[in-house]
Chains A and B, each alone.
Chain A
């Protein structure tokens, strides 16, 4: 997804990291009819703030977002009232079309937010316009866990080896998962790579367990909960007949440091195998891996 430096920085895509030559092969369609394969990235708090005042404060940020959704509501009304009449239909506006998809619940908002008051603002705005939203990062979620659970919006959280480094996120605690679980909120994990190296995705959930999350909830937070948050839980996120054959084979307890991922399968195809030396290097590191790999699309960017 795009970054958090703007109130609305663009659309997100849901993809499978499988060998492919085109992005289309990797996309996960949420809505075939409307061609929706992602959400909308939004952000509040300090990242989108600008010294020139557009926006310069939290209130201005909220007002700008609200104004856009008010506009989108009017656009949608005009469109609905035209009832297909080309004379009455408003001229196409790509920005408004995306926001209408959000208002219609077809496109989910992924809202970057850290501080507890920013979390509550994100909830307030989603409630006002009735859109679907996933709270992303939610660093101070533990302070307003009950409010998050009551709102019904799910929380996608990150775990860290230590707090600090970013002022509005210094109160991030690895007890976040436990507190959100206790309150009854839906919880998923994300890495925000390179904040957390994506090779340590399982490790993050393990720290959630160390800090009091249940094993069940932590495993769900790595699988089905994230799928629900992207509206793709009919295809991925659990081992059930009819679902995509996406699974991993582990050497032991998923929450042990000594456990390694042995194999990764996507749609019934083994795409990574630790017993293959070249594959193994991708997991453990080594000399000029990206350059050496004939299959890598990234070696030119990776080699500087």
Chain B
């Protein structure tokens, strides 16, 4: 793409139309390449939906996975482009990030993860802020992350919506998997540091409950066809109450987690816990509520609300049977984003184990995000999102050799 950009910008306006035509032709060629037939051969293929396959093959056609099996059982058809690697996994999924809304310059113009004009803004759409060309999106892709659940960050009672994108494409529409995935809710003191009100936990919850009660009325009127003037804020909250979207509730301390469960019981909306530093103190309560957890970045700095975080929480949640996924979260300074694979690696080395960590990064995450019909495992019919590694994906010295998204080889090392 760099080459195309240069091609277009280097020529005079008189000639530019011609070159845009030529660029269009090149894009067509590239698109055809996306639909090329590819065979991926791995010494170990982690399908995730089944046991790992030694000397496995994944056949890709038309952007989808065609067939998966052992080298002995699959004959690679003529004309398939062959890629080989030591380890092959499904594309990795970052279950909670702000990348694309928050950019790597960290200047006002590329920081859209939090809007501080109002503490409750469920109507803010992530798609209106997502920059598919953001450098960090591509950076994550080159580490094997093929899908991101991104959007508004923590720090407001309701900061806005989230969306799911593939880490490819040059526009949000090309990248999009799901435009309206969750509504980001935050409990705890970070809200008070961004807004003059609410300043306490009790006030925060009263603000949230009052709006949800209003939304119940709105939802009832909407169902009866009695809404005279549309209210975007109420529409979003009514969608939440109707179960069309999920609440992504950031809560770190055990008491804030319990509050999240209390509010969820009152209104009955679908919920995923985010952060949850002290989840290990209330494991039984979380399991009984049937709520999945997108655990804080394993290496989160143990400050403030997260001061009691532990590298072992993911392992403890997993052992308790609670669905758990990993996230890169939000970083305000240096580095500007974490890499979800590295966060999972530390959990893998602290009780979770390698295969459980791969599961959480792929199919586990896809299940929590509601996209396991498309991504998360190497199964026929699923999107051909595949990562080729030269060793254990979590080892510090392992490199990503290639990344395939929707059947298109989007990255090759060297």
Contact surface of A with B, Cβ cutoff 8 Å: 160-167, 169-170, 194-195, 197, 200, 203, 206-207, 209-210, 255-258, 260, 284-290, 302, 304
Contact = CB atoms under 8 A, between A and B. Distances in A.
Given A166-B334, A194-B303, A161 B310 contact: no
A209 B395 CA distance: 12
Contact of B339 (A162, A195, A255): A162
A200 B299 contact: yes
Contacts of B399: 210
Contacts of A302: 307
Interface in B214-246: none
A186 B135 CA distance: 31
Nearest to A288: B308
A302 B301 CA distance: 13
A164 B335 contact: yes
Given A206-B396, A285-B309, A164 B136 contact: yes
Say what secondary structure dominates the interface of chain B.
loop
Interface string B270-304: 00000000101100000000000000000101111
B352 to A, nearest CB: 12
Contacts of B304: 304
A28 B365 CA distance: 49
Interface residues of B, number: 44
A24 B390 CA distance: 49
Name the residue in A197, A257, A287, A304 with the highest tally of chain B Cβ atoms < 10 Å from its Cβ.
A257
Interface string B325-355: 0000001111111110010011011100000
Contacts of B333: 165-166, 195
B396 A257 contact: yes
Interface string B122-138: 00000000000001100
B308 A257 contact: no
B72 interface: no
B350 A284 contact: yes
Nearest to A170: B104
Say what secondary structure dominates the interface of chain A.
loop
13 contacts: A160-B334, A161-B337, A161-B338, A161-B339, A162-B139, A162-B335, A165-B335, A166-B106, A169-B334, A210-B398, A258-B348, A286-B312, A302-B307
Contact of A257 (B106, B135, B334, B345): B345
B30 to A, nearest CB: 27
Contacts of B397: 206, 209-210, 255-256
A14 to B, nearest CB: 25
B348 A257 contact: yes
A197 B394 CA distance: 19
A284 B106 CA distance: 30
Nearest to B339: A161
A144 to B, nearest CB: 21
A162 B336 contact: yes
Contacts of A285: 302, 308-312
B107 interface: yes
B254 to A, nearest CB: 9
Name the residue in A163, A255, A288, A302 with the highest tally of chain B Cβ atoms < 10 Å from its Cβ.
A163
B160 interface: no
Contacts of B103: 164
A170 B136 CA distance: 11
A67 B280 CA distance: 58
Contacts of B337: 161-162, 164
B303 A284 contact: no
B299 A197 contact: yes
B105 interface: yes
A220 B278 CA distance: 38
Contacts of B278: 287
A286 B310 contact: yes
Contacts of B302: 285
A203 B399 CA distance: 15
B315 to A, nearest CB: 10
Contact of A167 (B105, B307, B311): B105
Given A210-B398, A257-B348, A164 B135 contact: yes
B355 to A, nearest CB: 13
B334 A195 contact: yes
Contacts of B346: 257
Contacts of A258: 348-349, 395
Closest 9 CB pairs of A and B: A164-B104, A164-B336, A206-B396, A285-B310, A165-B336, A165-B334, A162-B335, A160-B335, A284-B311
